[in-house]
Amino acid sequence: MNGGANSREPMAQTLSRKTQPASQELRPPDLQIHWLGRMEFGRALALQGEIVAKKREDTSRPDELLLLEHEPVYTIGRTPDRSSLSAPGRIRDGELGSTHLPHPVFSINRGGQATYHGPGQLMGYPIIDLRRCGQDLHKYLRWLEQLLIDLLARYDIAAQRRESLTGVWVENRKIASIGVGVRHWITMHGFALNVCGDLSPFDHIVPCGINNVAITSMEKETKKSFTVSSVARAVEKLALDSIVSLRVAPETQVMNA
């Protein structure tokens, strides 16, 4: 598998560090980052829910970022339109649903259409209190995108945004998907970055509801080998460095409370 020797340990290695304030005025809360290895999707979903509930009860708890891989799974957001689960040519016209798919499907409380998660893909689940960030969901989405664009630049991959399409792209090829959920201004879900491995499960769906989209990975773009755990370590450093840009000054937090 691609996640390193510890990737099957459920709560294996912790990458946790604390942010240091860039200035005395900002004094950002801690960001704790955890590498969880490979984890079944349902378990990771439950873990996110537990952390969100604890943050609701105790607003002083630090924000967290969970980094992990999943066993193969499809997910779809909160939408009545489930046509993205049915790739053209894969099933008969008029058929919808998930019985034709080779892996389980989870309907979850994020935005967006169907996507695939599996080995070789780095999942990032930031659990962040947006009340510390001006209650600005748009800014948060752009922060996630920029985090991935900056990460990929470190590997000489020129990634970018595309207008009106959430996610990160290399030219017209999608390399990372973003889908978030927010409960009481606390985020869950997050990003999926294709690092290496098999991309063929995307062929069974309409990824993110975009017809004829090309899916790519770091491995495919560079013809080099990567492990998910090594890329996770690079994400950790960038997230700790960039979280200050998402925060707002304490007096602004009071005004928005």
Residue 76, helix vs strand vs coil:
strand
Q: What is the pLDDT of residues 65-106, one digit of tens each?
A: 999 999 999 988 776 666 677 766 454 444 445 567 778 888
Q: What is the pLDDT of residue 21?
A: 37
Q: What is the pLDDT of residue 251?
A: 47
How far apart, in whole angstroms, are the C-alpha atoms of residue 201 and residue 242? 33
What is the phi/psi pair of residue 34, to 5°?
-130, 130
How far apart, in whole angstroms, are the C-alpha atoms of residue 55 and residue 29? 13
Regions of the chain where pLDDT drops below 70 = 1-29, 79-83, 87-99, 111, 249-257
Q: What is the pLDDT of residue 106?
A: 80
Quick one: the chain helix, strand, coil %, rounded to 5?
A: 30, 25, 40
Q: What is the pLDDT of residue 114?
A: 85
Burial class from Cβ neighbours inside 10 Å (0-12, 13-18, 19+) for residue 153 reads exposed
Q: Are 188 and 208 in contact (CB under 8 A)?
A: no
Residue 230, helix vs strand vs coil:
helix
Q: What is the pLDDT of residue 80?
A: 62
Q: Which of 192, 206, 208, 243 is catalytic?
A: 208
Quick one: tokens of 232?
């996770």
Dmax (CA) for the chain in angstroms is 61
Place of tokens 């062929």: 203
Q: What is the reported pTM?
A: 0.82
Q: Are 122 and 69 in contact (CB under 8 A)?
A: yes
Quick check: is 208 catalytic? yes
Quick one: tokens of 211?
């017809």
Q: What is the pLDDT of residue 173?
A: 96
